[in-house]
Protein backbone atom coordinates (compact mmCIF):
# COMPACT_ATOMS: atom_id res chain seq x y z
CA UNK A 1 0.00 0.00 0.00
CA UNK A 2 1.18 3.50 -0.73
CA UNK A 3 -0.25 6.97 -0.20
CA UNK A 4 0.53 9.87 -2.49
CA UNK A 5 0.18 13.64 -2.52
CA UNK A 6 1.09 16.06 -5.32
CA UNK A 7 1.35 19.85 -5.40
CA UNK A 8 1.47 21.35 -8.88
CA UNK A 9 2.48 24.79 -10.14
CA UNK A 10 4.35 25.71 -6.96
CA UNK A 11 6.20 29.01 -7.51
CA UNK A 12 9.57 27.76 -6.25
CA UNK A 13 12.37 26.72 -8.56
CA UNK A 14 13.14 22.97 -8.61
CA UNK A 15 16.82 23.83 -8.15
CA UNK A 16 15.91 25.06 -4.64
CA UNK A 17 13.64 22.10 -3.90
CA UNK A 18 15.78 19.14 -4.98
CA UNK A 19 18.45 19.40 -2.21
CA UNK A 20 15.68 19.52 0.41
CA UNK A 21 13.97 16.50 -1.15
CA UNK A 22 17.25 14.57 -1.02
CA UNK A 23 17.46 15.16 2.76
CA UNK A 24 14.25 13.27 3.56
CA UNK A 25 14.14 10.50 0.95
CA UNK A 26 14.05 7.08 2.67
CA UNK A 27 13.53 8.44 6.20
CA UNK A 28 10.72 7.63 8.63
CA UNK A 29 7.78 10.06 8.45
CA UNK A 30 8.30 11.65 11.88
CA UNK A 31 12.04 12.04 11.30
CA UNK A 32 11.45 13.55 7.85
CA UNK A 33 8.92 16.08 9.19
CA UNK A 34 11.36 17.08 11.95
CA UNK A 35 14.16 17.58 9.42
CA UNK A 36 11.92 19.72 7.23
CA UNK A 37 10.73 21.78 10.19
CA UNK A 38 14.28 22.85 11.08
CA UNK A 39 15.65 23.21 7.54
CA UNK A 40 15.85 26.85 6.42
CA UNK A 41 14.50 27.96 3.09
CA UNK A 42 11.22 28.25 1.24
CA UNK A 43 11.40 24.77 -0.23
CA UNK A 44 11.28 22.94 3.08
CA UNK A 45 7.94 24.51 4.02
CA UNK A 46 6.32 23.48 0.75
CA UNK A 47 7.63 19.90 0.89
CA UNK A 48 6.56 19.64 4.54
CA UNK A 49 3.02 20.65 3.58
CA UNK A 50 2.85 18.06 0.78
CA UNK A 51 4.27 15.38 3.10
CA UNK A 52 1.67 16.17 5.77
CA UNK A 53 -1.02 15.83 3.11
CA UNK A 54 0.33 12.43 2.06
CA UNK A 55 0.36 11.33 5.71
CA UNK A 56 -3.27 12.41 6.10
CA UNK A 57 -4.17 10.50 2.93
CA UNK A 58 -2.45 7.38 4.29
CA UNK A 59 -4.22 7.57 7.63
CA UNK A 60 -7.72 8.50 6.44
CA UNK A 61 -8.02 6.81 3.04
CA UNK A 62 -5.94 3.66 3.50
CA UNK A 63 -6.06 3.09 7.30
CA UNK A 64 -2.26 2.96 7.57
CA UNK A 65 -0.46 3.37 10.88
CA UNK A 66 1.39 6.73 10.84
CA UNK A 67 4.16 5.33 13.07
CA UNK A 68 5.16 2.76 10.41
CA UNK A 69 5.26 5.15 7.42
CA UNK A 70 8.42 6.11 5.58
CA UNK A 71 9.16 8.38 2.62
CA UNK A 72 9.45 6.01 -0.34
CA UNK A 73 9.62 8.69 -3.02
CA UNK A 74 9.85 12.47 -3.10
CA UNK A 75 10.46 14.49 -6.25
CA UNK A 76 10.44 18.08 -7.49
CA UNK A 77 10.06 18.27 -11.25
CA UNK A 78 10.13 21.32 -13.50
CA UNK A 79 6.75 22.93 -14.09
CA UNK A 80 5.88 25.60 -16.64
CA UNK A 81 8.06 28.71 -16.77
CA UNK A 82 6.55 32.19 -16.92
CA UNK A 83 8.49 34.53 -19.16
CA UNK A 84 8.65 38.20 -18.25
CA UNK A 85 10.58 41.10 -19.80
CA UNK A 86 12.68 43.77 -18.16
CA UNK A 87 14.50 46.75 -19.60
CA UNK A 88 18.09 45.88 -20.45
CA UNK A 89 21.19 47.79 -21.47
CA UNK A 90 21.23 49.97 -24.61
CA UNK A 91 17.47 49.85 -25.13
CA UNK A 92 17.28 46.08 -25.25
CA UNK A 93 14.97 43.80 -23.31
CA UNK A 94 16.16 41.08 -20.95
CA UNK A 95 14.06 38.01 -20.25
CA UNK A 96 13.23 36.98 -16.69
CA UNK A 97 12.30 33.33 -16.18
CA UNK A 98 9.93 32.65 -13.27
CA UNK A 99 10.16 28.92 -12.75
CA UNK A 100 7.62 26.64 -11.10
CA UNK A 101 7.65 23.06 -9.83
CA UNK A 102 5.53 19.97 -9.42
CA UNK A 103 6.20 18.28 -6.05
CA UNK A 104 5.18 14.71 -5.25
CA UNK A 105 5.52 12.56 -2.14
CA UNK A 106 4.86 8.82 -1.81
CA UNK A 107 4.64 7.18 1.61
CA UNK A 108 4.76 3.42 2.21
CA UNK A 109 4.34 1.30 5.30
CA UNK A 110 7.26 -0.65 6.77
CA UNK A 111 6.62 -4.31 7.49
Fold of 2-109: Ribosomal Protein L22; Chain A (3.90.470)
* 3 in Cβ contact with 97 (< 8 Å): no
* 25 in Cβ contact with 73 (< 8 Å): yes
Q: Please tell me the distance from the alpha carbon of residue 78 to that of residue 72, in angstroms, as a whole number.
A: 20
- What pLDDT, in 10s, does the model give residues 23-76? 999 999 999 999 999 999 889 999 999 999 999 999 999 999 999 999 999 999
- What pLDDT, in 10s, does the model give residues 65-83? 999 999 999 999 999 999 9
Q: Could you tell me which of 106, 98, 6, 2 has the C-alpha nearest to residue 46?
A: 6
Q: What is the pTM of this model?
A: 0.89
Amino acid sequence: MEAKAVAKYVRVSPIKLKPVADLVRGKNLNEALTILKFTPGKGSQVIEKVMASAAANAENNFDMNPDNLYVAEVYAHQGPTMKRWRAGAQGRASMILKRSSHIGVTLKERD
